[in-house]
Every structure is written in C-alpha cells, then in structure tokens.
Chain A
Amino acid sequence: VCFIPGGLDCSISFVSHVLGKVCVHGRQKEILGVLVPHLTDLTKSDCIWQRICWRLVECVPDRWMEAVVLGFVQGAPGADVLSRLLGNLVLKNKKAQFVVTQKMLLLQYGHTTAVLQNLLGYLSLDSLRRTLLLRVLQELLETWSSSSAVKHSPAEQQLYISKAILICLSHLKEPEIESCRQELLTSMMEGVKCHLDSSLPQLRRLGMVVAESISLKINTEGPVLKFEYEEDDETRELKSLLVQTPPFCVVPSLPDDDRSEKAGAALPLVPESNEKPRTAAPLMPDEELDAELDSDDDLTPYDMSEDKELKIKAPVYIRDCIEVLTGSRSEDVDKWEATVKALESLVRKNPAATREVSVELAKILLHLEEKTCIEGFVELRQRAQVAVLSTDPIPVAKYLTSQFYSLNYSLRQRMDILDVLVLAAQELSCPKFHGKTKHSGAQKPCIQLLPGSDSSKDWRRIVDERIKSKTRRFDMGHSHVELVSRPNEFNSVAGHFFFPLIRHFDRPLTTFDLLGEDHLVLGRLVHTLAILMYLAVNTVAVTAMGKALLEFVWALRFHTDSYVRQGLLSCISSLLLSVPTERILADMTEELLETQSWLGDVMEKDPDGDCRRLALQNLLLMENLKKKLEAVPS
C-alpha cells in the first residue's frame, strides 16, 4: 500500500476500512508488520503524514477499532512511535479509550512488558492524555489493593498489574504525585496488607516490591519503606521498570533489559565506611631492633604452652542439660550456649537416658528461646527436637500433637511442631538416615522463612520420580547399589504422628482457628499430612491413614487459599503412591471416583497453575493404577 505524497486531499476512510477488516480477521501482524515501519519513517518529521496516520486510525469503524488499536500497540517499536501514529485517538474515540485504558490493562493479562511500556508511555506523552494515565493508575491500584482480587486472580495477572503500576509510577511527575499522594498512600497500605496475607511467596514478594516502589515515589525525602526478601529475576525486572529511559530513545530492546539502575527502589545501604584515619603510616620498628637487643634478653619467658583458647565445657549428662536450660542463673550464658550446641549429639548418644526425660526435654525445647546470639540457633533447636522425637517417638509425638492444638502458642511454634514431626518421620522411615541429617537442605521441608512452597517443588520431584519408577514395566537391571536395610521404625509410630494431627482441625480455639484466619498453618498442616502419608508407605496403618486423609481432603477441597489446595492435591498424590493398590481399590473405590471428578474440575478451572499441574499428575497416577489393575491377570 503506498501513499501519494503531496498536497492531494485524499480520502483515507477506505484504507481504514480495509485495515480494520484485515485486523479483525486476525491478520494484524502481517499488515501492520508492513505498515508500521513505513509509517514510523514517514511520520518522523513530517506533520502531514502524522495527520494522515491519525485520520487513518480514526476512521476505522468502531466494530474493528479494538483489533486495530491492539495491533498498533503491540506492533509499535516504542511509546513515542505509538504516540506519533495514534495521536490523540484515545481521547477522540470511546472504543479506543476503552481498549487502551480498561481492556488491555484490567481484562487481559497476556501482553508482554514491552507492550505495557508502549501503552503507558503513549498515555504519558501528551498532556491531554496524562489525565487518562492518572485514571489508569487509580484503577490499577484499586485492583491491586482489593483483597478478593489478590486471593482469586491468577498469579500471572497479578504480576501483570504490578508491572503496569510500576510503569505508571515511573511516568508520573512531581506535581501529579503531589495531587494523588494521599490516595497512593491509602492504596499502598491496603494493598500491602492483602498481599502479605497471601500464602504464596510470589504474591507476597510482588506486594512488597510494589509497596516499596510506591513508598519511594511518594516519600522523596525521609524514611522509605523497605522489605526484606530474596531478590530474584522477577523482582529485579520489576524494579528496573521504575526507571524510564528517555522517551526519544527509540530502542527496540526495552527498559526491561535496563538492569543497570535498580532505581533506588531498594535504598542502597550505604556501607559504613570503615574509617581508619591513621594520622600517619605506622612506624616500622626495624631500626629500633638492634639497639634494644640487650635489655629484653635478661627477661626469660616462662612456658606458655598452656595458653590456649578458652573453651567452655558442655555438660555430659542429659539431666545436667535440662538443669542448665531451665536454670534461672542468667550468668552462666556460656554454659547455656555450650549446652544448646551439644544437646543433639548427647541425645543421640544416650537414648536410654533420653527416654527417661523425653517429654520434659521436648517441652523445654519447644519453649526454648534464644538467650544469647548463637549462630544457627533455630537449626540447633530443631535438630535437638528431632533427635528427642526419634529416640522416643510415641510419648513425644503425643505431647507435640496435643500442643499443636493447644492455646497460647505462636504460629511459629505450631509450624515448628509440624516441621519436627516431618523430619523425625523422615528419619525413622528412611534406611539412609542413621541420625545424620546430612541430606541437602532442599529435601528437608524445614527452616524456611517462607512456608514451604519449596517443599511442594521437591514434592513434585519426589512424586515424579515415584511415578517414573512405578510406570516402568521392565526391570532395567540392578543399576543401583542395594541399600542397607533396617527395620522400618516408622511403622509402629506412624499412626501416633498422623491421627492426632488430623483430629481437631475443625475445632477453633480462641487463639487458633485453622479454618479461619490461620490458613497459613492449615496449609502447612496439609502439606505435613501429605508428607507423613508418603513416608507411611509399607506401614501397617497406611490404609487407615489413607481413608482418614481422603475424608479430610474431601472436607476441605473447596478452600479458597491456593497453598492449601496445593497441599490437598499433594495429599492425594501421597495417598495414591503409598497405599497399596489392592487396598485402594478394595476400600476406597467410591471415594476415589468422586475424587477423580473433583480432580478433573480442578485441572480445568482452578486459577492457580500449580494446582492444575498437581491435579493432572494425580489423574495420571490414577490412570496408572487402573492400568496396573488391568495388567494383572485375574
């Protein structure tokens, strides 16, 4: 398509119609791929061409406007180009305005960051359009800070909205920020609360990054909000959006790659410069050496071989440890530290002595707080707890599970109980673990500051491996070394770990309501039950556990928190893997059929990607079960 330059007054509406028709039929890329570069060049300096271009898009009939605008926004190499091409279309045409300010930002979320940059940059480039920019920002913030949106929309959409907010912020000028400072602040406060409430670490991080950025923009001097979180590619990308490269830079690779400035979104901590203003260089004592050889020689040193580092001895008996840990003598902090460090090995070396005082020790450890600053205190305490639990499982498990549902414990303590139960179960059930939890940290769903979304990843890995091993029909030969076999110590205690945990989940206490506010702990509990189920393979209680677990999952299957749902699906996986096939088919057929239809539903309709994947996995496992059954000659 070429245009006749010059002062000819041509009617463009025909071209607009063609353009519109083509775009609406889905051929945006082809036609705009040719048109846009031409127009970019032509409109660079020529006003007439600019106006022609504007006429072109303005004349597109409303029913095709959306496709055309979408195509332009996606195809334009930069916001300034888009501005040249579209002009004030959004102000003149209602449909275009709707597409740009509502549809592409709030109703769709599949567009790339580049497209967002184009769109929002376009809105910011003209003073008339800037009001739209502000309105867009307000609406985005409303969505971002609405708790139902945070709970129910998919993570990808929330990421998209966060990106849009950050780009908008980067375009705002001082006076505009001034005018809407109060609203920004209010939205930020509400939004950050909803985000931090979420059980998914990704959403929490998103909330934190956006809140920090907003705070940075509205408080140019004075303290700025700063959260602690692990930086990863996503957060870095988000922060880089806060900086805008100057609009006349037509760089097709976008500010996405501009990672060099982290926009001070995280105020760089000024390292306390280690000032050593030595007034002069240290004097070299060389010259003095010879002159002074005499006077010091008549002082003969004594034997100083005993002069070693001072070590505080830890107690050698378990009961002494108990005394030290419960003692009120605050002076002996050195001894206390040494005791905490030595406790785990003492417990493992003296199982008989430990069994005498196991519940007391468990109680002390559960309530033990950091008296002095020891490195790795949390881990030391946890390892000691696991040691005590493994040495004397039944009474200690009874104690811990009862405390899980008692009043006046913090959420952290309850989650610690769950972690300890899991670790001890792992130790008892696995032949490799001889009390040495030297396994890589990734496998242990413990000590996490963010609740175990990591564990669900390991979960998937473990479950995948299991699936692989179960679907293999041919034995590929002994390619692995035979593991040393030990009696399964988890067998006799599995029930003691599992059933008390499942018993009272629907009974709310004053300070602890699993089905209410404390859905974080519920999520952890569900994941814990999944792991316990998995570890209970080959135990006697496994079938009973399976039935109870299935009922439990069924009761909670519509829970609104995605972390809990992921846990429930993991429970089903463990169940299918651990309970022997015959027992599943004999005792749980109807429930399984119902579960299957539920899983199908989840797989199609659940907003959370992980849930859908887990549901699919479970359905595959069930397929395998069926196949296995069919393969067995009757």
Chain B
Amino acid sequence: MALPPPDPQFVLRGTSAAVHTLHFSCGGPEPDIPLLFSGSENGFIHVWNLKTRRVDTALDGHGRKSVYCVETMGGKDRLLSQGRDQRICLWDLAEGRTSVTDSVFTEHVGFCRCSLLKVAQGRWLMAMAARSLEEVQILELPSKTSVCTLKPEVGAKLGMPMCLKLWQLNCDSQPMLLAGYEDGSVILWNVSMGKALSQLICHQEPVMSLDFDAEKAKGISGSSEKVLSIWSLNEQQNLQVYKTHELVNAGISDITIRADKKILATAGWDHRIRIFGWKKLKPLAVLDYHTATVHCVSFSDHSNPRERLLAAGSKDQRITVWSIYAET
C-alpha cells in the first residue's frame, strides 16, 4: 500500500507576485545560513533565510520587470539575475551589501534563462539568448567578453532558443551547450568551435525546459505538450532519443535533476510537481499543493544529504519547500 505523497515541509509566502525562478545556496559551512533566492514577477529578488523562513533581503534591480532567472556564482555573495528589462545583473551581496556591480544588456525580449558554467577559478561562461532571433551568445564573466555566437544555419527555422544548458564533462574537456528551441528541437553545440554537433527533434511544440546529466550523457526535455523526452548522447556526440514518457496533463515549465542524479523533478502547468527516478524515469510521486501553474523547481545543494530540499515556485505566489527522498 503506497503512502500518500508528503506535504511540504514549509511554505514561503510574501513575494506578492508569481515566482518565476528559485536557487538554493546552502552549501556553505556551519555558521552560514542556508539561503533560497527567488525571483518574482514584480521585479524583486527575495533572499529567504531558511532557518527563520523569512525574507532577509529584497533586491530591486530590474525596474519592476519580471525576474526569471537567478543563479549564484561560487557562493552566496555573488548573485546573477536576469530580468525582462533585457538585463543580466551581477550583484555583490557580501557583508550585507545589495548592490549591482555589473550588468549585461542582452537585448533579448524572450524568456530564455541564461546558463552558467564555471570553467576556472573566478571565470565563468554564460550562455544567453541574444538580440537576433535564433542566436545564442556565449560570454565570459566577469570580463563580459564574447566568446562566440552560435548561429544556426540559414533557413533552419528553429525559432527562439527557449532553454540553455552549458556543461562540460570534466574540467579539462571542452564546454558544450545544449539548447532547446521553439520548433521542438534540441541542438548540441561545441562552444569552442562555435559549431553545431547534432540536432534532434524532441517535441512537436517548443521545448520549455531541459536538463542534462553529463556523466551518463543523458538528458531530458519537457515541452507544452504531454510528452517528456529523454535523449542520450553517444560517442560520436550525436543525440538520440532514448525514451519518452507521457504525462497526464500537458505542459511542463521546468525540469531539474538532483545533484546525486538519482531523481528529477518537473514543474507542471497542471499545478503539480512530479518526481521521477532518473535511471528509468520511474514515476515516484506527484506533489499537489499549488493552485496555479508551477513555474520552477530547484534542488538544494546541502552538503548533508539528509537535509536536502526541493523548492517549487508557482504563479499562486507561494514557494513550497519539500523534503523528499532525502535519506537515500
């Protein structure tokens, strides 16, 4: 007899706007407070203290335009945020400061979240959708120099890039980019050469979100239809479809794989969060709490596995935090 799904461990209220993005920063040693960063539709980034479960700081840097991506860059003192004001802001949050140290004007009017990858100490690569319709630009941070621009071939008709993921197999290998596009295809790019290595049509509708497991060379993508698509990368760097999984209701906003690669979570338009096992995509749980579409899910980076959390942000302005499969 299967147990009923667990309730959220706690629910964070107070954003007063739909929550579009979440990011944990709990990896620091003991005196450090575990934090959760959330970006909302009203342009604020809230820094939640997970001990007190209250907002510590609210950052206003995007002119009240919706913030749809937050990431930390090596610790909770440096934050990157992306908003609908076409800017990517770099924040310095050390010692209680809340200032924007730098910003990149992307001229991108879509909703494509940027992707960060640490390539060396103090150096990051950032992939972002650029001004031109189908292009993805790779910048080096913090220098903001352009590394390359990834342009699909003429007449490819991919549409906008919808989601990006920069990855590299290990520190010495070349950085790669997986990009999901509006026409439902996923392309693997080699960043150093600026060339597309492989293209796979995964969905009939735009790819809403994707995530990739570099060790197993397997990735998953979700779209506005009812199908989750799992694909793999073979030795020749070609993408192939591995499996598909059909959902009960259509529409996935976000997918994320937990760091230990055991489970993954999807945020659905049907207000539900679904948990699957990553190995065989076995459905494990359906978490039903939110009353509107769930925009984002994120796993925490606690060093102690038992403390690991899953957070979900929704249009109903709540952030639910769950502790699920934390013992394994």
Contact = CB atoms under 8 A, between A and B. Distances in A.
Report, nearest first, the 5 A-B pairs whose CB atoms are least far apart: A303-B2, A302-B285, A307-B286, A310-B270, A302-B5
Given A279-B200, A296-B280, A306 B328 contact: no
A307 B272 contact: yes
B201 A306 contact: no
Contacts of A232: none
B243 interface: yes
Nearest to A303: B2
Interface residues of A, number: 26
A309 B284 CA distance: 18
Say whether chain A's binding surface is mostly helix, strand, loop, or mixed.
loop
B286 A299 contact: no
A276 B201 CA distance: 6
Contacts of B1: 303
A302 B3 contact: yes
A307 B243 contact: no
B240 A280 contact: yes
Contact of B271 (A281, A282, A285, A310): A310
A283 interface: yes
Contacts of A289: 280
Contacts of A310: 249, 270-271
B263 interface: yes
B279 to A, nearest CB: 5
A563 to B, nearest CB: 45
Contact of A278 (B6, B200, B282): B200
A306 B286 contact: yes
A308 B271 CA distance: 12
A373 to B, nearest CB: 15
14 contacts: A277-B201, A280-B238, A280-B240, A282-B241, A283-B232, A295-B279, A301-B283, A303-B2, A303-B4, A304-B2, A304-B5, A304-B286, A306-B288, A307-B288
Contacts of B262: 295, 299
Contacts of A309: 248-249
Most B CB contacts (10 A, CB to CB) among A285, A295, A301 go to: A301
B277 interface: yes
A280 B199 CA distance: 11
A300 to B, nearest CB: 7
Contacts of A285: 242-243, 280
Given A295-B262, A302-B284, A310-B271, 11 more contacts: A275-B201, A277-B199, A278-B240, A279-B199, A282-B240, A285-B243, A299-B262, A299-B284, A300-B2, A302-B285, A308-B248
A594 interface: no
B283 A296 contact: no
Interface string B109-130: 0000000000000000000000
Most A CB contacts (10 A, CB to CB) among B3, B277, B283 go to: B277
Contacts of A221: none
Interface string A281-322: 111010001001001101111111011111000000000000
A310 to B, nearest CB: 4
B208 interface: no
Interface in A402-450: none
Contacts of A283: 232, 240-242
B3 A292 contact: no
Contacts of A303: 1-5
A292 B242 contact: no
Given A282-B242, A292-B279, A306-B286, A299 B325 contact: yes
Interface in B261-311: 262-263, 270-272, 277, 279-280, 282-286, 288
Contacts of B283: 301, 304
A298 B279 CA distance: 12
A302 B277 CA distance: 12
Contacts of A302: 2-6, 284-286
B198 interface: yes
B139 interface: no
A279 B4 CA distance: 42
B125 to A, nearest CB: 26
Contacts of B6: 302
Interface in B1-29: 1-6
